[in-house]
Amino acid sequence: MKRGFLLGWRGLTPWSALVSVLVLSSCSSDNSSTAPDDSLPPITDSGGVVRVVGNTPADFPAEVFREQYRGALPTTGSAVLRDRSSGTLFTLDGFAFSGPLSEDGVRLPQLSKLSAFWFAWSIFYPGSEIWGRSERVREASIVGDSDCLVPCNQIRRLLPADAIPSLPNPGPPRGAPRMVAVGDLALGYLRAGDLVVGIFDGVEARAYPHNVLWWHEIVNDTVGGQPLSISFCPLTGSALVFSADVSGFGTSGSLYNSNLVMYDHATASLFSQLRREAITGPRKGESLPEIPFVETTWSQWVQMHPDTKVLSSETGFRRDYTRYPYGDYRVNNNDTFSVTDPRPDPLFPNKWAVTGVQVGPTRKAYVHEEIVRQLGLRAVFRDEIEGMPLWIVFDRTSSYLQIFHAGDPSQTLDLEWATAP
Amino acid sequence: MRGRTGAILFLLVMVAAPGAKAGAWVQPQGRLWLKVGSTLGFADEKFANDQIDESKVFANGTRVRAGDRIPFDFTTGGRYRFQSYVVEAAYGVVDRFEISGAVPLLHTRFDNDNNEVEPGTGIGDLRLGFGVRILEGQRGVLSLGGEWKAPTADVPRSVYAQPLGEGQHDFTAWLRAGWSLWPRGWVQFGVGHRWRNANDELGFDPGREWHFRGEAGWQIGPTLGLKTGIEGLEGQPWTSDLFGFDQEIGRRRRWSIAPAILYRLDRFGWKRMMLEVGGAIALAGEDLPVAREIRVAWMMDLGD
């Protein structure tokens, strides 16, 4: 594996950082040294330091995406990808783990992507292409003002800052949330069909269940000495993982177009999660360096990564993590939580799941139900945006949609769904 | 970041409302008026503010508009409780001029399924004021005055601790008119305008407020009286510059009805003393709790 491409995450821009690769650099049982601020302890686990690097496809030669798979093998019988031509098996993270290409350490680069409810995607990404449809998302424009990149008066405050406590909470010490292994009693709240946000760097897998994110929305974790923020907005159904500074992010108590508005503890700049940038404050205009992640069901994730660490219910807060706190909001067709401008595009039901991606200036929405309608419950298919060849891997049962860069060396691949031996 | 706005600042609007004394009749020279009052308040609902006027979450799809009653804390079943004990005094310095003051002792708590907000107990923001009787007829009286609320109380920065004060200076000007129907009853009306300073420490500007109070009382026997008050608060929108720009938080308003029974204690030998037992029920509002209050007060006059 080449080590010459380590970059600071701050230098990444969200849509230019089309490919971010997580690679292991070393292991240590002491990650306390990576947390300079004792008041904001890192999430604890048994240790392990992972270094994260990233770059754009143009700067990142294809051979860099050769990396021996060093994680636990997928569970026998679980879903994997197979290259028909070589017989090579790939994990759903894109790592070749069995067959000829695994010996070369071939890895399919994941593109940074967003998941969200349809209505939210249509508000934040007007004019997007829609896979399988001739229509585009309804056009609209958003014009900011002198203090904000968006109209300031549309940043609506509903709660005081930190009223929804991020983890670890920066307020009165409550201890650090605990990451545990599969089977730990502190995972009793988690059911097979519950969704998780998963991060895998080639060695270590970590899962952040929606159940916890419903109540906390932001988890500030330190992975391999690199601070990360895992964010989820229950109202727009949107997940985003990005690199952060050690002080982390908190919830501002405000919404912009129904979507989570975060603030960074260091400068109090406000960041729109779905815009992936600071919309006010000293960091206004600064983009969040995105980290690829997988969003899928807990049962799927644990089959992909049986050795995964999971955020437990021991968060320092007393919450019923089995209960969705917003009634039937996630399944009804109510469009918004607060007034939005522009209004949602009515092309699809509001809560349909969308995975979206941007390549160059082109944004594209993959509407899960539209894929089901045209290709069925499970599909692997090619697509192309701005000349970039892509593999789209989709499984509705596990709410999994992954977008891989299909350039060299993977452009010769012919992928299909398979089961792990 | 300069600080975080406290989570629950509702109580203070009620307790610190001008006109707690609510008397158009300024004390004559040498007379000291004392009141020791206690209020017990409950709320498990609040009036929605205009920030969520198209919210469709709270009632499973029912559109919620500003002023609608919504659960106090729809995710964790929040319930608000408070107790206050306020000692008030007014003293007639000269025949048409009085000075007044109030010291509130508060106990506030916000309970929800998680019980994670620390209760607050202690002395709230102190108030000093004055009143001048500017017109007086055989039955009617018109007075004006002012009040200064000092930020003397503890205001924790955490959203997980109940504040006892608001943390900024307020100045109120009021005008009150009364009409005596002696010996049977009285009516009075007061209006106050409160200038509220920007709270630089917490990063918000609470905006100005208008306060209204109308009251009618009737003596139904030698010792027993009844009165009913209408209390109103109409606030300008709060704004916060916590994140570097003026962000509108919400506009606070509330109208309540406050009936009470008055009982003279003369028959027990306690001359010029009175007991008041009543309550207040919020009827309409925005961005404030739908509060139900029980109020008990003991009042007396000393001096000439």
Record: contact A153-B248, CB cut-off 8 A = yes
Residues in A closer than 8 angstroms to B250, CB to CB, are 157
Binary contact (A337, B75; C-beta < 8 A): no
Burial class from Cβ neighbours inside 10 Å (0-12, 13-18, 19+) for residue A185 reads exposed
3-state secondary structure of A161: coil
CA-based nearest distance A396→chain B, Å: 26
Contact A238, A272 (CB under 8 A): no
- Residue B262: both structure tokens together: 């008055």
Predicted local distance difference test score (pLDDT) of residue B65: 80
| Rounded mean pLDDT, B57-74 | 72
Name the residue in chain A with its Cα closest to that of B159.
Answer: A163
From chain B, the residues in CB contact with A319 under 8 A are: 76, 114
Q: For position B246, what pLDDT does the model report?
A: 83
pLDDT at residue A223 in the model: 76
Using DSSP's 3-state secondary structure scheme, residue A76 falls into coil
Residue A272 distance to chain B (closest CA, Å):
13
Q: What is the pLDDT along chain A (421 residues), one digit of tens a residue?
A: 332 222 222 223 233 333 332 222 222 333 333 333 333 333 433 332 222 223 344 433 344 455 667 778 899 999 999 999 899 999 999 888 999 888 878 888 888 889 999 999 999 999 999 999 999 999 988 888 888 999 988 888 888 888 888 998 766 656 678 999 999 988 899 999 999 999 987 778 999 999 999 999 999 998 766 889 999 999 999 999 998 887 899 999 899 999 999 999 999 999 999 999 999 999 999 999 888 899 999 999 999 999 999 999 999 888 889 999 888 888 887 766 666 788 889 999 999 999 999 888 899 999 999 999 999 999 999 999 988 889 999 999 999 999 998 866 555 789 999 999 9
Burial of B101 (0-12, 13-18, 19+ CB in 10 A): middle
Residue B71 has pLDDT above 90, yes or no: no
Contact B252/B233 with Cβ under 8 angstroms? Answer: yes
Tell me what pLDDT residue A411 has: 58
Across A96-110, B60-74, B248-262, least confident range: B60-74
Q: What is the reported pLDDT for A408?
A: 62
CA distance B111 to chain A (A): 13
Q: What is the CATH number of domain B10-302?
A: 2.40.160.40
| Whether residue B3 has pLDDT greater than 80 | no
pLDDT at A101: 86
- Determine contact, residues A14/A56, Cβ cutoff 8 Å: no
A64-A90-A106 Cα angle (round to 5): 20
Helix (H) or strand (E) holding A263: strand A259-264
The tokens describing A96, both together, are 């070749």
Distance of residue B250 Cα from the nearest chain A Cα, in angstroms: 8
pLDDT of residue A355: 96
- The residues, any chain, with a CB within 8 Å of residue B266's CB and separated by 6 or more, are B223, B272, B273
pLDDT of A68 = 67
Closest CB to A157 among B7, B61, B249: B249
pLDDT of B258: 95
* CA distances to A110, A174, B83, B108, B241 from B120, in Å: 51, 19, 10, 5, 26
B207 vs A129, residue with greater confidence = A129
Best probe of the A interface among B155, B247, B248, B286, by most A CBs < 10 A, is B247
Q: Which residues on neighbouring strands pair with residue B171, listed in sequence order?
A: B148, B195
Nearest 5°: phi and psi at A62? -55, -30
What is the number of alpha carbons within 13 Å of residue A292 lying toward its C-beta?
A: 29
DSSP codes of every residue in B61-126 = TEEE-TT-EEESSTTTT-EEEEEEEEEEEEEEEETTEEEEEEEEEEEEEEE-TT--SBPEEEE--E
Q: Cα distance from B55 to chain A (closest Cα, Å)?
A: 5
Those residues of chain A whose CB sits closer than 8 Å to some CB in chain B are 147-148, 152-153, 155-163, 171-172, 215, 235, 252, 254, 263, 265, 268-270, 280-282, 317-320, 325-329, 332, 334-339
* Residue B213 to residue B31: CA distance in whole angstroms: 24
- Measured between CB atoms, which of B54, B114, B158 is closest to A339? B54
- CA-nearest residue to B2 within chain A is A268
Instruction: With beta carbons under 8 A apart, name residues in chain A contacting B4.
Output: 160-162
d(CA B232, CA B89): 23
Residue B7, pLDDT score:
40
Range B226-253 average pLDDT: 88
Tokens in use for A363? 């944004």
